[in-house]
Amino acid sequence: MIEVHESTVSRAIRGKYVQTPKGTFSLKFFFKRGFSQGADDVSSEAIKQKIQAFVDAEDKRKPLSDQKIVEMLKEQGVDVARRTIAKYREALNILPSSKRKQFR
């Protein structure tokens, strides 16, 4: 295995394709998408499930910010960027914390 950051690989393969007997594929197709959790990998779907669970259980008077969700995931050994949390939250149709706040 080579020691290259995933963002370097992502930039290197962006817009590149490979032609195979089964068809033409983006190079991204051949790379697993997920996040490192020690020796294990956590899929983006598993992270989305965790985000949904955190939001479902939050205090609606003080909803969790994206940064707080990052910190909660980090406590579980999952290292993910705040921007990624925001992207997944939007994909789940969950509003930002400022819009989820309920006053009663």
What pTM value is reported for the model?
Answer: 0.64
pLDDT at 83: 94
How many structural domains is the chain composed of?
2
Flag whether pLDDT at 96 surpasses 80: yes
DSSP for 58-69, written as a single string? S-TTSPPPHHHH
Flag whether pLDDT at 39 surpasses 60: no
Flag whether pLDDT at 58 surpasses 70: yes
> Which tokens hold the place of 9?
């690989």
Do both 27 and 37 map to the same domain?
no
Do both 70 and 44 map to the same domain?
yes
Flag whether pLDDT at 17 surpasses 50: yes
DSSP for 7-68, written as a single string? HHHHHHHTT-EEEETTEEEEGGGGS--EEEETTEEEEHHHHHHHHHHHHHHS-TTSPPPHHH
**Stretch among 16-25, 27-36, 89-98 having the lowest mean pLDDT:** 27-36
CATH number of domain containing 58: 1.10.10.60
Task: Determine the residue type at 43.
Answer: S
